[in-house]
Amino acid sequence: MKHLFLPLALLTLSGCVTVPDVDVSAAPEGAYVLDPAHASVNWSLSHSGLSFYTARFDDISGALDFNPDAPNTSRVDIRIDPKSVSTGDTEWDETLGTDGKYFDGNAHPEIRFVSTNSVKITETTGTVTGDLTLRGVTKPVTLNVTYNGAGKSFGHPGATLGFSAIGKMKRSDWGMDYLTNFGIGDEVTLRIEAEFNEKQ
């Protein structure tokens, strides 16, 4: 009997799964809230050319004002706690998050990205440019964004929109140039996954 349980469970769950609708115009217009359980901001940089050192932030919040008829007028506002940086080494996380040579999270407790412009490239891709405030410095960053579609997320009554994004920035532009002279990369690659739930 136990051998039958897993296939039956999978069949039951499969009935609850929906394929996202990638037609942007079909998504509900309005206010959305970032689902932190289904969002990630990962960053990586060269470690002396030997590998790409990768970490993430664990405390992310945000909002999206979505217009399916004119996606380029949609606006997003994302906030990150720099002290939530996660590398797998808690001692190093504390240093990265608070030390003035790095994220300096005690003096600057918020990283914020506010979109200012977007450009449609295809029906599901485009660029989003916004002001990134980090360590008290605000400069523009452009992200290449893919709209993954609209669907239903378990436990949320409204629609859920999904996006993936990738972008690059130079950390020295935000005054974080420590160890760049010793081979630690200046260029940082951002990889973002985000689901936004329709605000109820």
Give the angle subtended at the CA of 54 by the CAs of 62 and 98, to the nearest 5°.
65
**Residue 13's pLDDT is what?**
45
Task: Give per-residue burial for 91-128: e unless 16+ CB within 10 Å, then b.
Answer: eebeebbbeeebbbbeebeebebebeebeeeeebebbb
**Residue 19's pLDDT is what?**
84
**Residue 5's pLDDT is what?**
46
Query: Chunked in runs of 10, what are the mean pLDDT values of the chain (200 residues)?
Result: 45 55 95 97 97 98 96 96 98 98 98 97 97 98 98 91 98 97 96 97
Which CATH number is associated with domain 21-198?
2.40.128.110
Residue spans of the domains in the chain: they are 21-198
**Residue 154's pLDDT is what?**
86
Contact of 128 with 165, CB cutoff 8 Å: yes
User: For residues 34 and 160, what is the distance between their CA atoms, to the nearest angstrom?
Assistant: 9
**Residue 149's pLDDT is what?**
97
User: For residues 33 and 3, what is the distance between their CA atoms, to the nearest angstrom?
Assistant: 41
Please give the model's pTM, rounded to 2 decimal places.
Answer: 0.90
